[in-house]
């Protein structure tokens, strides 16, 4: 692939924001989740005893909703049972590739094909690993034992948040029947059975796993979010949103860090809630409704800023202004204003048919990386432009354009793009190929051309 490079300032790497265009991948689309680092001897993992069946124990649940200044008023909440299943009651099993000498360290997790169902006569859902040097191999597959006799069993993915775990929903068409969590350090499979009437739609709006907590919401009461500890699932807590059930519908969860849960509204992207779990017995909820002409983006890695764009009467793919806003705006709206800058991606800027696809904060929070595609027709694109925005210089710079359409294939506000362990390269991909783009020298290296989508990173022992 030819890489054409524009001048790159010699200062620190430019901040770059990528705006996500929703990718309709099929009913079993990719929203992964994963993992937190840890080290253990490579090779065949040690046998893991059956997990303890913990007694029922609950951290005193508290709802502390607030729009600006959260209070800690006790609100008793009934915690739905989200029980840990016994190993012999799992509906699925994980078949590891024992014949391969798996690499240790951080790898990308790849779905070779998009169909994550268990149709008759089809192969089971499989997952590959891909190293940053370009080595790819089979990691595991998921088998269904048929015990539940489901009409349309499928794997539903949960967005990535850590690098030790991978979780997924097991569903019958739209109802999530069971939740499974794979611990890559021990290769143990944990199953959880929700006692909700149902979990929202395809599961990607109702569940999020972090490095320490699992968050979910039931359809019957979407004002109340429930959490249990990954270390000890008997430790639970709940939080209450400051809306009625109708206005609470459609919030999607993601994790900013181990103790901070973000809830973004799917249909009203200007509505966002931040949940502080530093004291799990008293979660602090702060919600804000921002200017309707502005769409909120991802948080910076250091948690101090939010990326946002102002489209006014244009689409999100052609924002007229782009900027950042302090996360302190959730605790006080007084004197809280965004820093907005004229966008080079507006409706009258650049060649015809060019639109923003996605954005990503640089790992050091110094700037934002943007990906821009150029359409050859209404259905597909043929070129990719890469831009950075430097927070310190307050300047946009086009750093490269590529002769192929390449994106992150991540869902906006749900998960971050996949960065290399040294934080200098980011994965760019389409359905056919996966590349690593090095921001320090604007070089593009093809890692794999076997097809599939990289959905996150994990650390293999």
Q: Which residue in the block uniquely carries the two structure tokens 């764009």?
A: 309
DSSP 96: E
**47 within domain boundaries:** no
Longest CA pairwise span in the chain (Å): 63
**247 within domain boundaries:** yes
Q: Round to whole Å and give the CA distance between 396 and 309.
A: 14
pLDDT tens digits for range 279-305? 999 999 999 888 888 888 888 999 899
DSSP 328: G
Contact between 148 and 91 (Cβ < 8 Å)? yes
- pLDDT over threshold 60, residue 313: yes
CA neighbor of 25 nearest in space, from 459, 340, 411, 419? 411
**401 within domain boundaries:** yes
**48 within domain boundaries:** no
Number of domains in the chain: 1
**What's the distance, CA 247 to chain centroid?**
23
**46 within domain boundaries:** no
| Domain harbouring 245, CATH code | 2.130.10.10
Q: Round to whole Å and give the CA distance between 321 and 104.
A: 43
**236 within domain boundaries:** yes
Between 144 and 52, name the one with better pLDDT. Answer: 144
Contact between 356 and 318 (Cβ < 8 Å)? yes
Q: What is the pLDDT of residue 426?
A: 96
pLDDT tens digits for range 13-62? 322 222 223 333 333 233 222 322 322 323 333 333 333 322 223 332 22
Q: What is the pLDDT of residue 314?
A: 73
pLDDT tens digits for range 196-238? 877 765 545 678 888 899 888 888 888 999 998 888 888 889 9
**49 within domain boundaries:** no
DSSP 87: G
**9 within domain boundaries:** yes
Q: How many CA atoms are closer than 13 Å to the CA of 248, on its beta-carbon side? A: 19
Q: Round to whole Å and give the CA distance between 420 and 297.
A: 22
**What's the distance, CA 259 to chain centroid?**
16
* 135 phi, psi to nearest 5 deg: -85, 130
Q: What is the pLDDT of residue 365?
A: 95
Q: Which domain holds residue 326?
A: 3-41+55-460
- pLDDT over threshold 80, residue 10: no
List beta partners, residue 254: 262
């Amino acid at each position: 692939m030819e890489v054409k490079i524009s001048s790159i300032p010699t200062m620190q790497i430019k901040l770059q924001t990528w705006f996500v265009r929703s990718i309709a991948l099929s009913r079993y689309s990719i929203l992964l989740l994963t993992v937190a680092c840890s080290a253990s001897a490579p090779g065949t993992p040690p046998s893991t005893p059956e997990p303890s069946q913990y007694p029922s124990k609950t951290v005193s649940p508290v709802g502390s909703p607030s729009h600006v200044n959260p209070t800690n008023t006790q609100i008793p909440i009934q915690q739905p049972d989200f029980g840990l299943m016994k190993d012999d009651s799992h509906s699925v099993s994980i078949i590891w590739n024992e014949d391969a000498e798996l690499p240790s360290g951080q790898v990308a997790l790849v779905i070779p094909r998009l169909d994550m169902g268990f149709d008759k006569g089809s192969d089971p859902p499989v997952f590959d690993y891909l190293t940053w040097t370009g080595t790819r191999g089979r990691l595991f597959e998921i088998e269904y034992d048929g015990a539940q006799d489901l009409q349309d069993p499928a794997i539903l993915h949960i967005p990535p948040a850590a690098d030790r775990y991978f979780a997924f929903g097991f569903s019958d068409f739209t109802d999530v029947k069971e939740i499974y969590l794979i611990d890559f350090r021990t290769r143990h499979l944990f199953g959880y059975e929700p006692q909700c009437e149902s979990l929202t739609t395809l599961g990607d709006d109702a569940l999020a796993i972090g490095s320490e907590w699992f968050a979910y919401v039931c359809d019957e009461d979407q004002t109340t979010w429930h959490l249990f500890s990954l270390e000890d699932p008997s430790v639970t807590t709940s939080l209450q949103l400051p809306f009625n059930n109708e206005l609470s519908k459609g919030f999607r969860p993601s994790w900013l860090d181990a103790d901070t849960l973000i809830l973004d509204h799917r249909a009203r992207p200007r509505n966002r809630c931040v949940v502080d779990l530093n004291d799990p017995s008293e979660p602090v909820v702060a919600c804000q409704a921002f200017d309707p002409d502005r769409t909120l983006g991802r948080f910076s890695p250091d948690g101090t800023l939010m990326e946002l764009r102002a489209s006014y009467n244009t689409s999100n793919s052609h924002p007229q202004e782009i900027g950042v806003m302090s996360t302190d705006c959730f605790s006080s709206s007084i004197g809280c204003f965004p820093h907005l800058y004229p966008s080079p991606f507006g409706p009258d800027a650049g060649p015809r048919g060019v639109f923003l696809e996605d954005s990503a904060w640089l790992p050091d929070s110094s700037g934002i990386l943007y990906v821009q595609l150029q359409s050859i027709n209404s259905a597909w694109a043929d070129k990719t432009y890469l831009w950075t925005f430097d927070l310190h210089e307050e300047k946009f710079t086009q750093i490269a354009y590529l002769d192929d359409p390449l994106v992150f294939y991540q869902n906006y506000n749900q998960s971050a793009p996949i960065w290399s362990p040294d934080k200098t390269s980011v994965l760019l991909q389409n359905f056919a190929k996966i590349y690593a783009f090095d921001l320090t020298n604007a070089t593009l290296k093809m890692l794999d051309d076997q097809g599939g989508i990289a959905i996150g990173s994990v650390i293999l022992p």
